[in-house]
Amino acid sequence: MDIIKKLEWRYAVKKFNADKMLTEEKLEKLKQAFNLTATSYGLQPIKLLVVQNKELQKELVKFSYGQKQVAQASHVLVICIEKQIDQKFIHDYFARVQQIRNTSDEILDPFKGALVESFSKKEREEVRVWATNQAYLALGTLLTVCALEEVDACPMEGFQPTSYDELLGLDKLKLTSVLVLPVGYRSTDDMFATLKKVRRDLNESIIHIP
Amino acid sequence: MDIIKKLEWRYAVKKFNADKMLTEEKLEKLKQAFNLTATSYGLQPIKLLVVQNKELQKELVKFSYGQKQVAQASHVLVICIEKQIDQKFIHDYFARVQQIRNTSDEILDPFKGALVESFSKKEREEVRVWATNQAYLALGTLLTVCALEEVDACPMEGFQPTSYDELLGLDKLKLTSVLVLPVGYRSTDDMFATLKKVRRDLNESIIHIP
């Protein structure tokens, strides 16, 4: 198992095999990996929606600029961000720290206070950008784990978040969708699967500062 | 080898073992993984700086809000974004596609034209945000590959990009730093290494839409 070979095997699937479903075990790994991804301050301002409903998937195609992968895929993962990162959100995080690590208030309070203050000063848009960055980080984790597990995927920025949010009832959950990731297995007749990967030479991507 | 166990092993290192260096082989894997990360349209608006110079690393501490990991780490990876995503940048990408895949102009031209037009309409700030998102995606890839390779890391958003850019001469390279990732090996006396991971319950992070 060489991770580099697996990353070379990975590509943005253009056509999924609609009959081949992810096993529960594979899906469980993706869910766990998403939950274990690093996030800024460990705050996890993101949630993962797992859509597994062919009718709904078909409907999502028209809000995905016609990209059929959304309908064909075994599951459509939708990475969402929290709409409300407020004082309660940060307090909930520290309650979790206390519960899991049994850390004393004495140790936690200064950091909690600083974080609450820092976020109270941020504009709503600034917090949205910050949370969106964490969604991209999680996408990187998911794509790498997919490659490792030989699960195919097609990361999508091109979709209509407001229509997704409406159709999936995200408003009630105080979430908004930021990235879409259909997962499943490539179709044997996806001609893109055999195309050579286009990447810069390594010496154009990497700069050594000795 | 279970990726979930590896992701659980990973944590944001507070103290590195300054004497333990990454092998060339490990470093090569991280470089390859960075270059293989997915990016929007495959455009790779990112570069990776590899700093391996103890004097320079020490200097970077004061531009990293005093975080000593930057000095202790085996290598400091700095994920940068391109400052100029212009027509030439997009043309260069398509030249690469042509060279690697031997695709005809006839096939490439419509997509090339659409991409050039789309980027010409974007504000400078919009392009910066787009490229920054790709840097976070690459961070997710790198952190996952680090975990898999049992390389320790500490992702950092908290640093002074303009000072980094100046010290590392990034202006001349038309790059700006957006994320810092010291890599190496955890110190045996980093008390954070043994703390339990704080994560939401899986059923709070994942929502199934049946």
Are B140 and A138 inside 8 Å of each other by CB? yes
Q: H or E segment at A184? A: strand A175-184
Contacts of A38 in chain B (CB under 8 A): 10, 12, 139-140, 143, 155
Residues in contact with A135: Cβ distance below 8 Å, sequence separation at least 6, in sequence order: A46, A79, A80, A81, A178, A179
**What 3-state DSSP class applies to A113?**
helix
B4 close to A (CB below 8 A): yes
Please determine, for residue B50, whether its predicted confidence score (pLDDT) is greater than 80: yes
Decide: A140 and B144 in contact? Cβ < 8 Å: yes
B89 close to A (CB below 8 A): no
Size of the A and B interface in Cβ pairs below 8 Å:
198
For B101-162, the DSSP string reads H---HHHHHHHHHHHHHHHHHS-HHHHHHHHHHHHHHHHHHHHHHHHHTT-EE--B--S-HH
φ/ψ of A189, rounded to 5, equals -105, 25
C-alpha distances (whole Å) from A71 to each of A19, A64, A178 are 11, 10, 18
Residues in contact with A125: Cβ distance below 8 Å, sequence separation at least 6, in sequence order: none
A49 close to B (CB below 8 A): yes
Say which DSSP state A197 is in: P
Contacts of A133 in chain B (CB under 8 A): 132-133, 136
Q: For A3-84+124-205, which CATH class?
A: alpha beta
Say which DSSP state B14 is in: S
Q: How confident is the model at residue B1 (pLDDT cuts 50, 70, 90)?
A: low
B6 close to A (CB below 8 A): no
How much is the average pLDDT of B35-57?
A: 98
Angle at B96 between CA B95 and CA B99, to 5 degrees: 85
Question: pLDDT per residue over B123-158, tens digit each?
Answer: 999 999 999 999 999 999 999 999 999 999 999 999
C-alpha A165: how far from chain center: 15
B208 close to A (CB below 8 A): yes
The distance of B169 to chain A (nearest Cα, Å) reads 10
The confidence score (pLDDT) of residue A190 equals 96
When mean pLDDT is compared across A36-45, A99-108, A169-178, B14-23, the lowest value belongs to: A99-108
The confidence score (pLDDT) of residue A147 equals 98
Q: Report the residue of chain A nearest B209, measured CA to CA.
A: A51
The confidence score (pLDDT) of residue B194 equals 93
Q: How confident is the model at residue A58 (pLDDT cuts 50, 70, 90)?
A: very high
B98 close to A (CB below 8 A): no
* Average model confidence (pLDDT) across chain A: 97
The distance of B32 to chain A (nearest Cα, Å) reads 7
Question: pLDDT per residue over B59-95, tens digit each?
Answer: 999 999 999 999 999 999 999 999 999 999 999 999 9
Are B200 and A52 inside 8 Å of each other by CB? no
Q: B2, B3, B115: best mutation site toward chain A, by most A Cβ within 10 Å?
A: B3
| First-residue to last-residue Cα distance in chain B | 31
To 10 degrees, the CA torsion angle through A195, A196, A197, A198? -100
Residue B33: what residue type?
Answer: A
Fold observed for domain B3-87+122-205:
NADH Oxidase (3.40.109)
Write out the two tokens for A47.
């949630």
Residue in A36, A52, A136 nearest the CB of B199: A36
Q: Report the residue of chain A nearest B98, measured CA to CA.
A: A198
The distance of B23 to chain A (nearest Cα, Å) reads 15
The Cα–Cα gap between B112 and B97 comes to 11
The confidence score (pLDDT) of residue A130 equals 97
B160 close to A (CB below 8 A): no
Place of tokens 């459509």: A76
Please determine, for residue B173, whether its predicted confidence score (pLDDT) is greater than 80: yes
Please determine, for residue A1, whether its predicted confidence score (pLDDT) is greater than 80: no
